[in-house]
A and B are shown apart, each in its own frame.
Chain A
Amino acid sequence: MERGCDRSKRSYRSTRSLRKERTKIHDISRKKEEGLLNILPQDWMPLPCLDDHPSPIKPLTEEQKERVESSLDGISALGLPKPKNKEEEKKLVESFLRGLKKLLSQNDNWTFWQPLIHSLESCVKCQTCNDACPIYVSSGKQEIYRPTYRGEVLRRIINKYLKKGGRTLSKLKGEDIELNWATIARLAELAYRCTLCRRCAQWCPLGSDNGLITREIRKLFSQEMGIAPKEVHDAGTVQHLKVGASTGISPQAFENMIEFMEDEIEEKTGKRIKVPVDREEADILLIHNSGEFMSWIENPVAFAILFEAAGLRWTLSSEIYGYEATNYGTWYDDIQFARIALKQIEVAKKLKVKKIVMGECGHAHKGLIIIADRILVDDMNFPRESFLPLLAELVCNDKIKLDPARNNFFVTLHDPCNMVRLMGIVEPQRQILKKICPQFREMEPHGVENYCCGGGSGFAIMSNMNFPDWRVHLSGRMKLKQILNVFQDVIEPENKKYVCAPCSNCKGQIRDLLSDYNVGEKYKIRYGGLVELVVNAMVDIEKPFIEWE
């Protein structure tokens, strides 16, 4: 094997050829079954370090094509059934227009009316945001993934169908668009080709937020038409509200997991500790993404070891809703969002804890700490904060004995969008890593200019038909490129490499990227959270906490 790698040999198809094929806004109304985009691997952004001849995205079967809508790009995130007849199609179009009116009404959509209206009105079409979008760039700049495409579709529908004289003016301005089932079905799918990372909004000199426009389109479909990905709604928020967690973990199952955690702690540290559960009047109620208990138990285990070692008065909750930090409503539905946030706060109130601390879950941070702030009143407005300031305080003030030599491998940091760009928590995680990881290196770009992992806004859990294939090949491509680039000079497998991703969704996505491209095993790159690295450096623990095999 050659040392390092700089093998981004394959080139994009020429921009000129793409220009000839540019999809127009009004194409979204095209009634033909064929997709607006035929996704071809030769268009994709090349990756370093790989013999990059990617296989095409798995096409839908003929039966699936017959049954569900896929006329956007041949992908189905929603499994949206086709209308059975003209009458049904007409009803769906009417329902969409009713929802759109509500979206633009101050009272019906008070939650996001103002930023939505300003985002729709303030875009000057300078396309500065385009290159900020990892999906648009990774796809080889396909028109339908341009961050401004879906906003422009919505704007033209509003101008034509909801404004006085709109039909005539739209024709005169050359901005005509037809609102039919094809438009609606494609727009619904298109709302799930953006991870809501809002890097485009960060780039926009006028502050037009295409991420918000996308979220509001999702909301229209969910709140008015009852259309949402089943993993996010049925198996997500609905299951969360019925059972207690979006993973389906019941309070009884959670109690069993605590026992399992204690066994794990004993195995890792040689000491058995009692994990505090439902301790009233504790200083801290720690809430994890329940996916951690299912897939990465080492993360809650590491939190427990650290908090006990630091002598904190903390607790977990086994109450229904008390052991689940996620709130998938953040991504698509204000009402589901509010329901879940209120349930989480009620648990903390009942336990009479001093504050809620969110574990390693990005959207849960943004959701409960920031967005929920304006639905919580009186004693429901409960103190809540990120685990990061607390962890930085423990590590940087030497409250735990740590030996950085134990983390003497190459470490890079993935910044979860929700914690960093959307909350401004940038430095604590860096202070920790610089203190405990002698070979820490930043990927580029990082901090508030980071790229999304590609699994944001529900993508990491959405598994409908060929959508996961699209996610790994396109929405996560930029993140994989960043990871390979940052380790390029030490890519050989004898060098151990760790991608620190302090967010469950991001971890899930990075797991899939490393595994599907077979780079995790081939180049010895593993991923994990931040607390695992801290515990791995603890001098009081004999065995390494992080396992490489």
Chain B
Amino acid sequence: MGGVILFIFYGSILFCVIASIIKIVKYTTAPLHLRWELYRGSSVYELPDGWNKANLTFWQKLKTVILDVSFLREYYHRNKKFWTFLYLFHVGLYLLIFWHAWIFIRAITGNMESASILGLVWGHGATVLAFMGGAGILIQRIINEDLKVYYPSIHYVKWIFMLVTVLGAFYAVDVHFNAQMPTLLKYVRGQVTFQDLEHKLHPALAPASHVLFASVWLIYFPFSHIMQLFFRYYHHLRWDDVPNARGSGIERRVKELLDLPITWSAPHIQSGKKWKEVATEVKDLTGVQGR
């Protein structure tokens, strides 16, 4: 049983890494698309000869990402009712991610007996926030007519599973480890340093369940909206305003794309010819009439 859990856990880490890499490769190798951005305010097009200028610096972009991700600013401005629980959940989640990172580092670097109670408070606080936020979102998704519309049933299961995961974590820390930081840190140290093989192969139910739950989330992560958000929102909707300067890499990529054949079949398109040929010819323009 313990072997199976180990296999699932390490397998899920591997899966998460590989699937994330595949997603990133899919994103980075996608063909350059035409520009279609949106603006939150003034742009360089307000300036004479603004057509060949880029809009924002890297640091301006980074600042926006950090503020948006930290405070879910767009939700705050556009949908406050939904934001409240969403924010609680995300703050809880961020704190839990940092807490797990801290606990792994603390377990292998510090004196475990002197571990501060603050670590426990941090973990509990984060878990409570994530639970309250998750439960609030689930309830809203059940009772709010608009939030129910088109929401896939599987996502209700996802939120229930999220709450179960959080409750499982409570149980593991408070019941199994008696809310004792040194005990918890010793267990984690044994796990991450592979010192305690016996515990690894025959784990207790509470930590084993938590590891299993975590594995499911690791498998889910590459398909979650977190990945989408970064690639889509920040690179293509808001900031895809890099001009196509002569002799630039963008121009080179555009030339390659204009060499692709057009395959669309409507009468006004000469299917089979290259983009650059079709776009520069205006003969044989059969009208599209109804169909």
Please list the residues of chain A having a beta carbon within 8 angstroms of any beta carbon in chain B.
Answer: 19, 22, 25, 78-81, 92, 95, 98-99, 102, 106-108, 110-115, 118-119, 121-122, 124-128, 130, 132, 146, 148, 152, 173-175, 198, 201-209, 212, 222-228, 230, 233-234, 238, 241-242, 334-336, 338-339, 342-343, 355, 369-371, 373-378, 381, 383-386, 388-390, 392-393, 420-428, 447-448
Contact = CB atoms under 8 A, between A and B. Distances in A.
B291 A115 contact: no
Given A128-B82, A393-B48, A238 B287 contact: yes
B255 A377 contact: yes
A386 B49 CA distance: 9
The residue in B55, B244, B278 that gathers the most chain A C-beta atoms within 10 A of its C-beta is B244
Given A127-B146, A226-B268, A342-B280, A102 B291 contact: no
A375 B263 contact: no
Contact of B244 (A78, A124, A374, A423): A374
Contact of A373 (B35, B41, B269): B35
A517 B289 CA distance: 33
A39 to B, nearest CB: 20
A338 B46 contact: no
A233 B288 contact: yes
A228 B44 CA distance: 34
B290 A114 contact: no
A207 B147 contact: no
Contacts of B35: 370-371, 373-374
Contact of A125 (B147, B254, B265): B147
Given A115-B232, A375-B34, A383-B49, 13 more contacts: A111-B33, A112-B34, A126-B79, A126-B82, A148-B150, A207-B232, A223-B264, A226-B288, A226-B291, A233-B287, A420-B39, A421-B39, A426-B42
Contacts of A201: 38, 237
A377 B238 contact: no
Interface in B238-291: 238, 241, 243-246, 250-251, 254-255, 257-258, 260, 262-269, 275, 278-282, 285, 287-291
A79 B290 CA distance: 7
Interface stretch (B151-159, B173-181, B190-198, B206-214): B151-159
Contact of A375 (B39, B82, B147, B279): B279
A251 to B, nearest CB: 15
A114 B49 CA distance: 29
* Chain B interface category by residue count: 35 or more
Contacts of A108: 263-264
Contacts of B40: 448
A385 B231 CA distance: 29
Given A128-B79, A223-B264, A230 B280 contact: no
B291 A92 contact: yes
The 6 tightest CB contacts between A and B, nearest first, are A424-B43, A424-B39, A207-B233, A118-B232, A205-B74, A110-B31
B51 interface: yes
A423 B282 CA distance: 29
Contacts of A222: 266, 288
A102 B264 contact: yes
Contacts of A22: 149
30 contacts: A79-B290, A80-B290, A107-B260, A110-B31, A110-B33, A114-B33, A118-B236, A119-B232, A122-B233, A126-B75, A127-B149, A148-B150, A152-B150, A198-B38, A201-B237, A230-B287, A338-B275, A338-B279, A374-B254, A375-B34, A381-B244, A385-B51, A386-B45, A389-B50, A424-B44, A424-B45, A424-B46, A425-B42, A426-B39, A427-B42
B64 interface: no
A213 B234 CA distance: 18
Contact of A223 (B79, B266, B275): B266
